[in-house]
Structure 1
């Protein structure tokens, strides 16, 4: 929501609205606002059309925490994350000569949007996302092999948005949705 400070008349997108709702829920959970105030502010956030409208609903809230950034790096060998692990807001994965496997299907995802930044040399990568996740692969650049991802025909609303970006050297990136 940086653009809100620059142009309060700029239109909102769904990521901005989801972030604002999460901030309100966090403020209520931390007892910074009352139940009635939560209801009033949620109504303003859900009906807001510009960043200025949104800012007025978030006034006097404690500063938001932008999330965490974590880096997983390996020169050689495998990078493997699966089971119940906490996914940071921004996950950087760097590998020179190994395979990467990230399974987010049972992971704890606290953020509506998760950015995965890949910097991979030789070796493939396989990412399994939750069945209801929306995947954005527009930022991925492949050098040798094509990306393999087939979006599901029907997605249930409410899942996290997983944005994958970065560079794949001499390996293939395969992304699939978990079965359930």
Structure 2
């Protein structure tokens, strides 16, 4: 069977492992950009293990070959590997001219997404999105307008945009991504406008974490009650237990109020976008009526 291994078909995960090794070699100075691009192109064109092997033969770590699995292992639910799906992407551009656009929910981010906002705004939400590649580029041009990019936790963010009397948000840069997570490169140009980048959990994830915190609180309370019942503690132990309960409740109340305020803020922003779109639509209709009358 080992003689047939070079002729076995390579998977997307195998090609991605080789591509990651090439990226590391580029960062370490072992490859220049021209060599990196040539080998990366050969990697994604390779169909078998025999075609992949020579690409990294002269790089450190290539002697340790990854084991070849003859069985297709399922991708874990919610894993990054399951969200890098390849293909061309379900949407490749967004335009807002005196209006707005949104990309959110379940969609596939292409290798390059272009957006343009002129006296308008756009929102590009990647929290529930799939990705056509491990590296995706979000190109934003904002002229007297703005574009907001929302990324999920665990994604590496690189910001390379240029602002003239405007700016790009760099606060989310510098955080290392999780293993296997995609990298989002935000680039473009802002003139009297701005491009924001923020990292947020989905509403479902926030609710899940909230339920987990409540369960942890109940578990702690039950453990303290069991301890108080098993040991003779008297009034002092009960007083300490009551104090801890009060602190937990106060902390949870503050956190819940903060989350509620944030949810109301998101709802107000969505209603604002909807009203803006309705006003622009009415303005366009009135202008069309005047043009017909003339």
**Structure 1 and Structure 2 fold alike (TM over 0.5):** yes
1:142 corresponds to which of 163, 174, 181 = 163
Cα displacement string for residues 102-140 of structure 1 (whole angstroms, at most 9, x for unaligned residues): 0112111021221222121122221012323222212x1
Matched, 1:158 2:199: no
- Pairing of 1:46-61 with structure 2 (within 5 A): 46-47=56-57, 49=59
Paired residues in the alignment total 143
Q: Partner residue of 2:143?
A: 121
Q: Following the alignment from structure 1 to structure 2, what is the Cα–Cα distance between the partners of residues 174 and 77?
A: 18
2:127 corresponds to which of 105, 112, 118 = 105
Query: For 1:106, what is the secondary structure of its paired residue?
Result: coil
Q: Following the alignment from structure 2 to structure 1, what is the Cα–Cα distance between the partners of residues 152 and 128?
A: 8
Query: For 2:180, what is the secondary structure of its paired residue?
Result: coil
Q: Following the alignment from structure 1 to structure 2, what is the Cα–Cα distance between the partners of residues 70 and 136?
A: 19
Cα displacement string for residues 67-89 of structure 1 (whole angstroms, at most 9, x for unaligned residues): 57833223121111110111122
Equivalent residues of 1:18, 1:112 under 8 A apart:
no
- Pairing of 1:1-180 with structure 2 (within 5 A): 10=32, 12-13=35-36, 20-24=42-46, 27=47, 38-47=48-57, 49=59, 67=88, 70-138=92-160, 140-150=161-171, 151=173, 153-179=175-201
Q: Following the alignment from structure 1 to structure 2, what is the Cα–Cα distance between the partners of residues 91 and 136?
A: 15
The answer to which of 141-150 and 67-76 deviates more is 67-76
Query: For 1:100, what is the secondary structure of its paired residue?
Result: strand
Q: Following the alignment from structure 1 to structure 2, what is the Cα–Cα distance between the partners of residues 149 and 123?
A: 18
Change (3 A) 1:90 1:153: closer
Equivalent residues of 2:109, 2:132 under 8 A apart:
yes
Query: For 1:43, what is the secondary structure of its paired residue?
Result: helix
The answer to which of 162-171 and 66-75 deviates more is 66-75
The answer to which of 70-79 and 94-103 deviates more is 70-79
Q: Taking CA–CA contacts closer than 8 Å with sequence separation of 6 or more, which of the two structures ends up with the larger relative contact order?
A: 1
Q: TM-score, normalised by structure 1?
A: 0.63
Q: Say what the alpha-carbon RMSD is for the aligned residues.
A: 3.1
> Unaligned stretches of 5+ in structure 2?
1-30, 60-85, 206-294
Q: TM-score, normalised by structure 2?
A: 0.41
Q: Following the alignment from structure 2 to structure 1, what is the Cα–Cα distance between the partners of residues 186 and 38?
A: 19
Specify which structure has the higher proportion of helix. Answer: 2
